[in-house]
Amino acid sequence: MALLLGCETVSLRPAPSEPTEPAAPVATETAAPATPPPGRVTALAVGPRSNCAILDEHELWCWGSGDDGLLGPHPGPGPVRLLTAEGLSAVSVGGASLCFVASGEVQCLGRPQAPPDLFTGYRHPGEARTAPEPVRGIDGVRAVAVGGEATCLLRDSGSVHCLGSPSAGGGPGASTRRTGAAIVQEARSLTASGAHACASTGDGSVWCWGSGHAGQLPGTEVRHSVEAVLLPGLADVRQVAAAPDGSLGCALAGRGSLTCWGAAGDVWRRRGAMLGEGLVQVPEVGEPIRRVRVGALEILTVAESGAVYRIAVTAPEQDPEGSTTTPLRARLERPRRLALPPAVDVGVGVAHRCALGTDRNVRCWGHRIGGRLGDGDSSDPRPVPAEEAVLVEFTEETAG
């Protein structure tokens, strides 16, 4: 069975305004221990506080914070089996809600972040729902991306439709109760962040919409757009990725090169910095990349070999009394290969990360806050390094 990697390659036209950092030797961590027997995971989604995995295309398991209904009726931390359904193909987890695709139809649960509600079916504004609610009026969906204030859907036809706040990625005609008109046609990949969304199309171009106040719409001089805006300077893009809880975005090109833009950290609270004035080339890892995932302060990539690399983004904190007219610049650190078994997908949360291995097992590392690593432990304050990543087990004892 083919692994389902969820929603989401280039020659970049010359021109990013920031200088390209020369390639440097890639640091490598100590080798990881031998892998366990093969697992059953076919798709992985990592959210800021909670994570979900699809097993054998018919079971949805989640773990981490149970606040806002993210684990349905379960308090957490799990893993808990939320439901079984035929044709489960994709799942996306946001800060307070999650959505999944089953046989081309989308259902969501959790708490809305955009008033009065995030998706159809809410009877009372702001009410957290612990049971899945269908997104009505749209079918034939193959991918979903949950952002901070909008959720976007990619249909089999290639059209992208969103619901939620029109000003933060919902697009024209969208509301918290219905999807709007198609924002992009012939889309290939899709991503959503805290206040904007992007899609790459069949011709290799990248289109984004929503907020541009933190550099999310580079090269356009647009601060905000309900309509999709073409990002100049990108070509042959096969995947786009954005930080679900931030303003950083990246595009993966056909040859495996990676270009990013936006801001790292939180520029609004003076805890972040702009990556650059426009597009910034990411230091090469030394082998072709096939997948990228983005967090507020880091980038994870999966190489063709299955190796996982981490690129930290250093965002200096601004002086609370200082001027914001000249924002500080974030720095991309050189890539570091993580001591993990070969992977096909990865995900970045807040203070934790997870990887889906070629053996169809999920491993998580970082902080155990709220049980985010999937071992039921939230008491140990020590971060778990990648070489000691927790193997997430999906058993009847934790199924709930």
Asked if 230 contacts 190 with a C-beta cutoff of 8 angstroms, the reply is: no
Q: What is the pLDDT of residues 136-194, one digit of tens each?
A: 889 999 999 998 878 999 999 999 999 876 544 444 444 444 456 789 999 999 999 88
Which two three-digit tokens encode residue 376? 């039921």
DSSP lists the bridge partners of residue 383 as: none
Per-residue pLDDT, 29: 56
Measured from the Cβ of residue 14, the count of other Cβ atoms closer than 10 Å reads 6
Give every CB contact of residue 350 below 8 A, 6+ residues apart in sequence. Answer: 48, 49, 245, 295, 296
Question: Residue 104's closest CA among 89, 114, 93?
Answer: 89
% pLDDT > 70, the chain: 76
pTM as predicted: 0.84
- Contacts with 397 (C-beta within 8 Å, 6 or more apart), sequence order: none
> How big is the chain by its Cα radius of gyration, in Å?
19
Domain boundaries, the chain: 36-399
What are the two backbone dihedrals, phi and then psi, of residue 168, each rounded to the nearest 5 degrees?
-130, 35
**pLDDT grade, residue 120 (50/70/90)?**
very low
DSSP string over 118-150: SSTT-SSTT--EEEEEE-TT---EEEEEE-SSE
Dihedral pair phi/psi, residue 222, rounded to 5°: -105, 130
Q: Is the pLDDT of residue 337 over 80?
A: yes
For the stretch 361-381, pLDDT in tens is 999 999 999 999 999 988 888
- Render pLDDT for 274-283 as a digit per residue (tens, 0 to 9): 776 789 999 9
Selection from 239, 228, 112, 116 nearest residue 180 by Cα: 228
What does the pLDDT read at residue 278? 84
- Give tens-digit pLDDT for 218-227: 778 787 888 8
Q: Which CATH code of 3.40.50.620, 3.40.630.30, 2.140.10.10, 2.130.10.30 fits the domain covering 36-399? A: 2.130.10.30
Do residues 82 and 99 make contact, with C-beta atoms less than 8 angstroms apart? no
The string of pLDDT tens digits covering residues 31-52 is 455 568 999 999 999 999 999 9
Q: Per the structure block, which two tokens stand in for 346? A: 């990865």
